[in-house]
Amino acid sequence: MQIFDYEDIQLIPNKCIVRSRKEVDTTVEFGGRTFKLPVVPANMQTIIDEPLAQWLAENDYFYVMHRFNPERRADFVADMHSKGLFASISVGVKPEEFAFVKELAGHKLNPEYITIDIAHGHSQIVIDMIQHIKKYLPDTFVIAGNVGTPEGVRELENAGADATKVGIGPGKVCITKLKTGFGTGGWQLAALRWCAKAASKPIITDGGIRNNGDIAKSLRFGATMCMIGSLFAGHYETPGKKVEKDGKMFQEYYGSASEYQKGAHHNVEGKKILLPLKGHIADTLTEMKEDLQSSVSYAGGRDLEALRKVDYVIVKNSIFNGDQY
Ligand X SMILES: NC(=O)C1=CN([C@@H]2O[C@H](COP(=O)(O)OP(=O)(O)OC[C@H]3O[C@@H](n4cnc5c(N)ncnc54)[C@H](OP(=O)(O)O)[C@@H]3O)[C@@H](O)[C@H]2O)C=CC1
Which positions make up the binding site for NADP(+)?
203-226
Which amino acid is located at 196 in the chain? A
- Tell me the window of 56-64, 106-114, 163-171, 244-252 that interacts with ligand X (CB under 6 A): 163-171
User: Should residue 208 be labelled a site residue for ligand X when binding is judged by CB under 6 A?
Assistant: no
Catalytic option among 174, 196, 257, 306: 174
Q: Shortest approach of ligand LQESDW3C to residue 181 CB, angstroms?
A: 13
Exposure string of 68-98, with b = 16+ CB inside 10 Å and e = fewer, is eebeebbebbeebeeeebbbbbbbbbeeebb
| Partner interacting with residue 208 (select from ligand LQESDW3C, ligand X, none; CB below 5-8 Å by kind) | ligand LQESDW3C
Chain residues 67-106 in contact with ligand X, contact rule CB under 6 A: 92-94
- Tell me the window of 98-106, 166-174, 274-282, 317-325 that interacts with ligand X (CB under 6 A): 166-174
| Partner interacting with residue 227 (select from ligand LQESDW3C, ligand X, none; CB below 5-8 Å by kind) | ligand LQESDW3C
Q: Shortest approach of ligand LQESDW3C to residue 210 CB, angstroms?
A: 7
HEC profile for the chain? CCCCCHHHEEECCCCCCCCCHHHCECCEEECCEEECCCEEECCCCCCCCHHHHHHHHHCCCCCCCCCCCHHHHHHHHHHHHHCCCCCEEEECCCHHHHHHHHHHHHCCCCCCEEEEECCCCCCHHHHHHHHHHHHHCCCCEEEEEEECCHHHHHHHHHHCCCEEEECCCCCCCECHHHHHCCCCCCCHHHHHHHHHHHCCCCEEEECCCCCCHHHHHHHHCCCCEEEECCCCCCCCCCCCCEEEECCEEEEEEECCCCHHHHCCCCCCCECEEEEECCCCHHHHHHHHHHHHHHHHHHHCCCEHHHHCCCCEEECCCHHHCCCCC
- The answer to whether 157 and 165 have CB atoms below 8 angstroms apart is no
Which CB atom, from 209 or from 285, has the smaller least distance to ligand LQESDW3C?
Answer: 209
| Partner interacting with residue 172 (select from ligand X, ligand LQESDW3C, none; CB below 5-8 Å by kind) | ligand LQESDW3C
| Partner interacting with residue 93 (select from ligand X, ligand LQESDW3C, none; CB below 5-8 Å by kind) | ligand X
User: Should residue 120 be labelled a site residue for ligand X when binding is judged by CB under 6 A?
Assistant: yes
What residue numbers does the annotated binding site cover? 203-226
| Partner interacting with residue 155 (select from ligand X, ligand LQESDW3C, none; CB below 5-8 Å by kind) | none
Look up 195 and say whether it is catalytic.
no
User: Should residue 174 be labelled a site residue for ligand X when binding is judged by CB under 6 A?
Assistant: yes
Which CB atom, from 126 or from 299, has the smaller least distance to ligand X?
Answer: 126
User: Should residue 41 be labelled a site residue for ligand X when binding is judged by CB under 6 A?
Assistant: no
User: Should residue 256 be labelled a site residue for ligand X when binding is judged by CB under 6 A?
Assistant: yes
Q: Contact residues for ligand X (CB under 6 A)?
A: 92-94, 117-120, 146, 167-169, 171, 174, 176, 206-207, 256-257, 267, 269
Catalytic residues: 174
